[in-house]
Amino acid sequence: MTRRPLLAGNWKLHLGPGAARSLAAAIAAKVGDVAEVDVAVFPTALAVPAVVEALRGSMIGVGLQWASPHAQGAYTGTNSSVLAREVGCSWLLAGHSEVRRDLAEDDARVRSSVLGGLDAGLLPMVCLGESLEERRADRVEDVITRQLAALYDGLPADRAAVLTLAYEPLWAIGTGETATPDQAQAVHALIRGWLADRFPAFVAAETRVLYGGSVKPSNAAELLAQPDIDGALVGGASLDAESFAAIVNAAR
């Protein structure tokens, strides 16, 4: 089967509601009606309602950057998938390396957040990736398979098939240094092979594995041309409507 490309913009802690609404509208004007690929953006939680409103009627989905596994309750300072769904999100980002680094997120919490997202009816997009030290120590496979095992352990195939993965090598995030298409393809093939070994064939065949880490208009096409790269999770270049639209168009 052919997997439909998915291009996602992670706006991180940039843009309040006003600026996020303007960017969303500018992106929608350029690629809001594309039929051949899926597009999603992850604004800050505070800007989600404004972006949902700006994108109403377009094909572009909106997601939350992080969610507690709890639906609601005495969990001060957090957000939940249930509430994200209520304000119009369809996606949930989980396991981003910046959250792992800054908020002590670990594999177990990533998994619970993903399960909470699935229960709420969101589409989880889960980030995986190794640090530069781990790559230099030849530990890429160890790290990726550890993250995959923690995420998928005991998950039935029909739920596993709903997940999207994003391979984001830490050394390529915000550094301007991109994994080469061969380096990225090798890890994407490893991920798909891991899924194929553990689940019925449709899971590996349907799971979209995005690449993230300094994706820009100038390198998107060659990354997206790799057989196991099904899209991109874009940080910096997604903050500019023209650049993000160029990346979306590279996947069409």
Sites for ligand 13P among residues 173-192 (CB under 6 A): 173-174
168 lies in the binding site for ligand 13P (CB under 6 A): yes
Write the single-letter amino acid at 193: G
x/- mask, ligand 13P, residues 211-240, rule CB under 6 A, reads -xxxx-----------------xxxxx---
- Report the residue number whose CB is nearest to ligand 13P: 235
Closest to ligand 13P by CB, 199 or 216 = 216
242 in active site: no
- Told to check if 61 binds ligand 13P by CB under 6 A, we report no
CB of 178 to ligand 13P, least distance (A): 8
Min CB(42)–ligand 13P separation in Å: 8
Among 10, 80, 207, 243, binds ligand 13P (CB under 6 A): 10
**Does the annotation mark 96 as catalytic?**
yes
Active-site annotation holder among 14, 168, 188, 206: 168
Q: From the CB of 51, what's the least distance to ligand 13P, in Å?
A: 16
Q: Residues binding ligand 13P: what is the number (CB under 6 A)? A: 14
Q: Cβ distance 59 to 36 under 8 Å? A: no
Residues of this chain that interact with ligand 13P (CB under 6 A) are: 10, 96, 168, 173-174, 212-215, 233-237
